[in-house]
Amino acid sequence: MVTYDPADHYERLAKNYDDTWSHRPDYVGWMNQRVFDRLQIEPGDHVADIGAGTGLFLRSLVRHVTEDNPIVCIDPSRSMLNQLPDDPRLHPVCASAEAVAAGEVGLPYDWLDAIVIKETIHHFTNIPKTLFGLAERLAPGGRLLVVTLPRRPQYPLFTAALDRFAEHQPEPDDIASAMRDAGLDVTLDYDAFTVRVNADHYAHLVTRRWMSVLSTFDDEQLAEGLEEMRTRNVSGELTFPDRFAFVFGKRT
Ligand SMILES: C[S@@+](CC[C@H](N)C(=O)[O-])C[C@H]1O[C@@H](n2cnc3c(N)ncnc32)[C@H](O)[C@@H]1O
């Protein structure tokens, strides 16, 4: 296995990150709406996105804030944050979730009404401790939403990549337990978006190592994996469900 540093991975990916989703604009809207529906942002709410990346999935939320209560976009990758739209309703903070949870980072707000963590929690070094620290920053009635892939997504990837992904991906039930231990009322549900994509385009995304697990394979291993995918998917068109866990917690 290639040792990889998430920081290098996102450094390399940052400029092309949004293009990764350009073949499925419907998905971006779908996910934005699901995040918005769960967080129920009220005027004046203080919102933070942890692992905000390029802000692609903040579009539905940003319409509900103003420059007086910008969304705090927290990410340790400066290159990802540099891709955020130039918008006074977004306030970038270059820091890790762990540092925010430990109170080591100054935020523009003492308390947060809503926190979203989308496809980022698998990077946390200690999930229960970090969620506990983040939950402590919630105001009464504050909401924390974790959006994450299940351990075994039904992606048409090569087997070794799916196996390695499963080894490192946290179980949504364990995330829910950690949020309960942090004092939140928690619900866990799943929702799926049907992806239809050209097999060559999907292979191109794999070549670009768009998922961080793919950065743990060297060029030769990746070429073998692509060959496996090619022999399996002969139709030229791929259809599969992109299923997500939504773990929602509320401070009462
Ligand atoms: C797959 S991207 C998701 C970005 C965005 N949430 C989205 O859904 O498009 C994961 C993001 O997590 C960030 N990240 C990695 N380690 C982190 C940590 N310890 N705390 C917070 N964010 C982290 C990466 O820099 C990257 O921007």
**One digit per residue, pLDDT tens: the chain, 252 residues?**
777 677 787 777 787 777 777 667 789 999 999 999 999 999 999 999 999 999 999 888 999 999 999 999 999 999 999 999 999 999 999 999 999 999 999 999 999 999 999 999 999 999 999 999 999 999 999 999 999 999 999 999 999 999 999 999 999 999 999 999 999 999 999 999 999 989 998 999 999 998 989 999 999 999 999 999 999 877 788 999 999 999 999 999
Is 208 within the bounds of a domain? no
pLDDT at 22: 67
Is 159 within the bounds of a domain? yes
Summary mean pLDDT of the chain? 93
Helical segments of the chain, H only = 6-13, 25-39, 59-62, 78-81, 97-101, 127-135, 159-168, 172-181, 199-207, 219-232
Count of structural domains, the chain: 1
Substitution site in 39, 80, 119, 120 for ligand 1 pocket (most atoms within 8 Å of beta carbon): 120
Cβ 192 vs Cβ 244: under 8 Å: yes
Dihedrals φ, ψ of 239, to 5°?
-130, 125
Whole-number Å distance between alpha carbons of 211 and 50: 18
Is 226 within the bounds of a domain? no
Is 89 within the bounds of a domain? yes
Is 16 within the bounds of a domain? yes
Is 154 within the bounds of a domain? yes
13 lines ligand 1 (CB under 6 A): no
pLDDT at 141: 97
Where residue 167 sits, what CATH number does that domain have? 3.40.50.150
Is 19 within the bounds of a domain? yes
Write the residue with the smallest CA distance to atom 12 of ligand 1: 51
Range of the domain at 32: 6-194+242-250
76 alpha carbon – ligand 1 mean position (Å): 8
